[in-house]
Amino acid sequence: MPPVRRLSLGGGTGPEDVRVDAGGRVLTGVSDGRVLALNPSGGPPRTLADTGGRPLGLCPLPDGGLLVCDAERGLLRVESESGRVHPLLREVAGRPLQLCSNAAAAPDGTLYVTDSSGRFPLRHWMGDLLEHSGTGRLVRCAPDGGDAEVLLDGLHFANGVTLAPDASFLVVAETGAYRLRRLWLTGPRAGRDDIFADGLPGFPDNLSTGPTGLVWTALAAPRSLALDLLHRTHPALRRALWSLPASLHPDPSPTAWAMAFDASGRPVHDLQRPGRDFRMVTSVCEHEGRLYLGSLTEDAVGAVPLPPAARP
């Protein structure tokens, strides 16, 4: 991965997800609740809205609206021009969205949403990875949030979600299982799920589909041997470790990392660098020869040119 150029957030921190809208603006949400629009050429960001919670995954809509997954308030719709925030979905099948993480919109308007954990809020995300209890969900709902239903349950920290270019399937990241799962939406396999990519070398986070159909995934940190060994132990031991001081928990190695997969789940690009200028990449979005990077911990959005080997 080339050196990372930093796009200032004007004092904001934690741009967990990044997307580019139809006007070429880089969109992100930060820890104080604001949703920001950045000019890729630089300059101060513009505040589009304040969710009053913690915005995570974003999804620009064809009509100019913006889906926002808020870790505290559930699935929201933001009107980009007025900044008005409309709640869409807060509960599914009698359970609240404990950690609404990411969303994708199909051409027919159907929304797909991930709920990372049924046990832990965002501030305790490490607890879910340590306990490895598999309480994440993939949810489908109508454009107004109605008719919500659970499509996949028992996911290990359900995270990024993205659609194939023809909407024939979607891919959802299971961060705690180091894998990407595929759910078929059309054709003879519609309704069935399988493994899109398994045994990843790091923790997959947010996903996006590039202009040539590649599925990009951010890898927040390299795979942890200590965590792998812990997952083989009794659940009671995993819960006991979570109760220990945070200083005794596994510490993610600092790195900047993104991978891309073709429609068959074959890895075709693997871009990484030491996390000296940008670390803990939680999202990646390809646009006009650049990759835009988000992070749960940084105070900027990262931008890198696509290396020649990764360009269409």
Tell me, what CATH number does 183's domain have? Answer: 2.120.10.30
Give me the number of domains the chain comprises.
Answer: 1
- Does residue 245 fall inside a structural domain? no
Q: What is the pLDDT of residue 244?
A: 45
- Does residue 242 fall inside a structural domain? no
Task: Over range 281-299, report the average pLDDT.
Answer: 96
Q: Is residue 237 scored above 90 in pLDDT?
A: no
CB 29 within 8 A of CB 78: no
Q: What is the phi/psi pair of residue 283, to 5°?
A: -155, 155
- Does residue 247 fall inside a structural domain? no
- Position 47, amino acid: T
Q: Which domain holds residue 267?
A: 5-235+253-307
For the ranges 70-84, 118-132, 174-188, 213-227, the lowest mean pLDDT is seen at 118-132
CB 233 within 8 A of CB 311: no
- Does residue 192 fall inside a structural domain? yes
- Does residue 130 fall inside a structural domain? yes
- Does residue 33 fall inside a structural domain? yes
- Does residue 246 fall inside a structural domain? no
Task: Over range 186-213, report the average pLDDT.
Answer: 96
Dump pLDDT digits (tens) for 123-163. Answer: 766 666 667 678 899 999 999 999 999 999 999 999 999 99
What is residue 135's DSSP assignment?
-
- Does residue 183 fall inside a structural domain? yes
Q: Output the CA angle 271-164-311, nearest 5 degrees.
A: 35
Q: Is residue 22 scored above 50 in pLDDT?
A: yes
